[in-house]
Amino acid sequence: MNNKYTMKELPVMDKPYEKCMAYGAEMLTDAELLSVILRTGAQGLPALELAKRLLSSTPGEEGILGLHRLTIPDLMKHSGVGKVKAVQIQCMLELSRRLAKQKAEKALHFNEPSTIAAYYMEDFRHSDQEQVALMLLNTKNRLLGEQIISKGTVNASAVSPREIFIQALHYHAVSIVLVHNHPSGDPTPSREDLAFTERVREAGAFLGVELLDHVIIGDRKYMSFRESSILES
């Protein structure tokens, strides 16, 4: 017996569009949500089946999170995914990242490292490159600006304190927070991280710009130098 249905032949409540209208988008599976974005499949391959294949195509990290690992060329290697679909998927992922960050921004509090980690989590935890971000604050601990000051380095020690304080003085910041990710997913600081943080703290003390914290982002977890008392407030 052939149990392979085309999208038109599926029972009404098994169709993603109709299911969403009847029960809400939250009731759709990941594959069903993605099939709605894709709209169409390939010849002989319905959109829902194409979505399932895409979600299982990244070894070691299947599902929605695995899609973050795929570039537009990676996506286009799949039969049924052309330039338009690949761009649609990338834009969907970017929109979800921005929504998460905007929501986290409302709760951002620089005396609470967990809120800083939440603010950068979706930016950094999927990255396979190490990045260092600089947050620049005024006298009221309000965010004046943020800069990615290093990307793709082997470790944070490759960043010069000089680069950091050029930005801090440009923004007239009175304090700063450093944030960087460990692509391994483990936020435990390395010896280089510890030495780098101390160099920045000392340079900041000399210039009158306080280093409030250094937060390392892992996969759904973080480490704060301030919380760990490595960096005394």
Q: What is the pLDDT of residues 163-222, one digit of tens each?
A: 899 999 999 999 999 999 998 889 999 998 999 999 999 999 999 999 999 999 998 899
At 5 the pLDDT is 45
- 48 — pLDDT class (breaks 50, 70, 90): confident
pLDDT at position 77 over 60: yes
**Residues 83 and 143 occupy one common structural domain:** no
- Give the dihedral sign, CA 48/50/54/59: positive
d(CA 147, CA 150): 9
User: DSSP assignment, residue 40?
Assistant: -
At 11 the pLDDT is 46
Closest by CA to 226, choosing from 133, 113, 132, is: 113
Instruction: Give the burial string for 99-135 (b: 16+ CB within 10 Å, else e).
Output: eebeebeeebebeebebbbbbbbbbbbbbeebbbbbb
Which of 41-50, 56-65, 82-91, 159-168 is predicted least confidently?
56-65
d(CA 43, CA 122): 35
- Residue 3 lies inside a defined structural domain of this protein: no
Confidence of residue 67 (pLDDT cuts 50, 70, 90): confident
- Which is it for strands 143-153 and 130-137: parallel, antiparallel or unpaired? antiparallel
d(CA 51, CA 97): 20
Identify the pLDDT of residue 233.
Answer: 52
Whether residue 33 sits in one domain with residue 81: yes
The 3-state secondary structure of 89-114 reads HHHHHHHHHHHHHHHHHHCCCCCCHH
Domain shared by 208 and 131, yes or no: yes
Beta strand pairing call for 210-217 and 175-181: parallel
Q: Residue 170's pLDDT is what?
A: 93
More confident residue, 13 or 130: 130
Residue 41 has pLDDT above 50, yes or no: yes
> Residue 6 falls within a domain, yes or no?
no
Are 220 and 119 part of one and the same domain?
yes
Handedness of CA 72, 75, 76, 77 (dihedral sign): positive
| Domains in the chain, number | 2
Does 218 lie in the same domain as 118?
yes
Give the CATH number for residue 131.
3.40.140.10
156 in the same domain as 195: yes
How far is it, in rounded angstroms, from Cα 15 to Cα 8? 8
Indicate if 155 and 47 belong to the same structural domain.
Answer: no
Does 7 fall in a domain? no
Mean pLDDT of the chain: 84
Give per-residue burial for 203-230: e unless 16+ CB within 10 Å, then b: bbeeeebbbbbbbbbbbeebbbbbeeeb
Tokens 């979706």 correspond to what residue?
A: 122
Q: Which domain holds residue 198?
A: 108-224
126 & 79 share domain: no
Distance of alpha carbon 112 from the chain centroid: 20
In a domain, 71, yes or no: yes
